[in-house]
A = this chain, B = another copy of it.
C-alpha cells in the first residue's frame, strides 16, 4: 500500500520539473528536447517523494523543498541516461520507452546528461527559499555533489562496470549498491534536513540510517523483481540482470535468502524511523511500499 502522500508529491514534482526546465533551459534546441524527454518520462519519483515527505516531517515548507526534489531527480535522471549508453549498460528500453540515445542520438544523450547534472546544482542555488539560510543551502549543494560524484554514485557505477560478467562477493555487491543507488537516496534526507528548521545531529543520523536501509532494501527488491516480475510490468526486459550475468542478491543468497534480506532491511528502516521524535507513519508505509512493490 502506497502512502497517501505519494501521488500528491509525485504530482508536485512533475510540475516543478516542468517549471525548472521551462525557466532555465532555452526551449528551441534538440538538447532541451532530450533533457525534457528523459526528465519527464515519469518513473516512481522515489527520491523527490523522500525529500518532500521527510522535509514535511521536519517542519520544512514545501516551497523550500521544491529545489531539492527537482535537483535530486535531475541527478538521478542524468545517471540513467549515461548508464543506458552503449559504452555502459547498452540499454534500449527505460520505463517502457526508448532510452535517450535511442530516441535522439548518443552525442545528444551524453550532453543531455551533462546538462541535467549542471541543472541540478543550478536548481539548488537559484531558488527563492523562504526559510533556508545561505549556509544550509551550501550544505545542500555539498551533500548533493558528494553523493553524485566519485565518492558516491559515480564510484558505484565504476564498481559495477569493473565487475561486469563477474560474480562478486556480498560485501562488494553491497558497497556497489550503497554508492550507486544508496548515496543519492541517503542524500534525499540530508537535503530535506537542511531545508528544514531542525538543527539536531541525532535526527539527521537516524534519518540517514533509515535512508541507508531503505536504499539497500529497494535494490534487493529490484533484484527479486528481475526474477519474479515480467517485462511489461517492469518497463524493462525481465531477466536482464541474469542475462547480463550481473551479481544480484538472489544469485548470492538464493531467492528466499534475498527475500529475508529485504525483510531485515525493512525492519532496520522502521527501527530507525521509530527512534525519531515524530509521527513517522507515512514514511513507514512508504518503506513497506518499497519492499512490497511489484514494479
Closest chain-B Cβ to A109's Cβ sits at a distance in Å of 8
A141 partner residues in chain B, CB cutoff 8 A: 121, 124-125, 138, 141
- Do the beta carbons of B111 and A157 come within 8 Å of each other? yes
A125 partner residues in chain B, CB cutoff 8 A: 138, 141-142, 145
Q: Which of A126-169 contact B (CB under 8 A)?
A: 126, 133-135, 137-138, 141-142, 144-146, 148-152, 154-155, 157-159, 161-162
Q: Which of B26, B113, B138 contacts A114 (CB 8 A)?
A: B113
- Do the beta carbons of B111 and A158 come within 8 Å of each other? yes
Nearest B residue (CB) for A162: B30
- Do the beta carbons of A122 and B110 come within 8 Å of each other? no
- Do the beta carbons of B108 and A150 come within 8 Å of each other? no
- Do the beta carbons of A142 and B154 come within 8 Å of each other? no
Nearest B residue (CB) for A118: B149
A161 to B109, CA, bound (A): 12
A154 partner residues in chain B, CB cutoff 8 A: 31, 111, 114-115, 118
Q: Which of B87, B105, B117, B133 contacts A106 (CB 8 A)?
A: B87
A118 to B141, CA, bound (A): 10
A117 partner residues in chain B, CB cutoff 8 A: 114, 117-118
Q: A29 on the interface (CB 8 Å rule)?
A: yes
- 17 A-B pairs within 8 Å (CB atoms) are namely A24-B150, A31-B154, A31-B158, A82-B114, A88-B107, A111-B157, A111-B161, A114-B154, A118-B148, A118-B154, A122-B146, A122-B149, A126-B142, A133-B134, A134-B135, A134-B137, A138-B138
Extra contacts besides A30-B158, A31-B150, A87-B106 (5): CB < 8 Å: A31-B155, A111-B154, A118-B149, A118-B150, A138-B138
